[in-house]
């Protein structure tokens, strides 16, 4: 298992994973390396479903071990919404700002202690040997106003547990250490190391 294809065209994600897997001598490819690959529609009702759909498609098309992920913000007071619809919460072509605005509107008047939330990432790996999923969670709460200009998406309103700064105020190093995605990738890395 020397080559893995990441089902993504997100350059930041590709570079981050390439660095993570470097100690294992993995040659990380991405969908950029396979121009014939089509964009996969994320139409499943769970994060697991979307991650598996993307990884399975890439594996079937390339015959190489494939990796994909999907992330959602789950807010307790909204019964777990926006969840799997986080990227398109305010509509199919919604901007990050429109999604944040909708979230804050829906939470208007909700007391701080009832604004608990978590970011959850599911990483799916599909190879000859079968299918594996790895989950990472970062708990926190939703603030009633935006703070910080780093990061993207819901980062300016998400305050991680045990921190005074939002995801949009924290350095990339600290955010990666505590992030849902970082935790899921770490579990995948540990599993991969065992396989080797």
Which of the residues 70, 79, 177, 190 is marked catalytic? 70
The two structure tokens encoding residue 145: 């106003």
| Among 175, 183, 181, CA closest to 159 | 175
CB count within 10 Å of CB 8 equals 18
The DSSP element (H or E) to which 69 belongs, if any, is strand 66-75
Active site residue 69: no
Helices (H), 63-142: 96-106
The two structure tokens encoding residue 22: 């470097």
**What is the 3-class SS of 38-52, one letter each residue?**
CCCCCCCCCHHHHHH
Question: Distance between alpha carbon 125 and the CA centroid of its chain, in Å?
Answer: 14
Q: Which residues fall within 8 angstroms of residue 142, CB to CB, at 6 or more apart?
A: 75, 103, 104, 107, 115, 117, 154, 157, 158, 159
Catalytically annotated residues = 70
């Amino acid at each position: 298992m020397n080559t893995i294809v990441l089902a993504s065209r997100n350059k930041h994600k590709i570079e981050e994973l390439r660095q993570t897997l470097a100690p294992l001598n993995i040659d990380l490819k991405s969908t950029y390396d396979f121009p014939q690959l089509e964009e996969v529609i994320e139409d499943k009702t769970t994060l697991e479903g979307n991650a598996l759909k993307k990884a399975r498609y890439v594996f079937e098309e390339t015959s190489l071990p494939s990796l994909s992920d999907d992330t959602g913000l789950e807010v307790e007071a909204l019964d777990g919404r926006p969840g799997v619809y986080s990227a398109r919460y305010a509509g199919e072509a919604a901007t990050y700002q429109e999604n944040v605005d909708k979230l804050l509107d829906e939470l208007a008047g909700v007391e701080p202690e009832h604004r608990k939330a978590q970011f959850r990432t599911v990483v799916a790996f599909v190879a000859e040997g079968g299918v594996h999923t790895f989950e990472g969670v970062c708990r926190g709460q939703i603030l009633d106003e935006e703070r910080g200009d780093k990061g993207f998406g819901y980062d300016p309103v998400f305050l991680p547990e045990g921190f005074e700064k939002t995801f949009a105020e924290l350095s990339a190093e600290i955010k990666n250490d505590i992030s849902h995605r970082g935790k899921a990738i770490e579990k995948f890395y540990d599993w991969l190391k065992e396989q080797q």
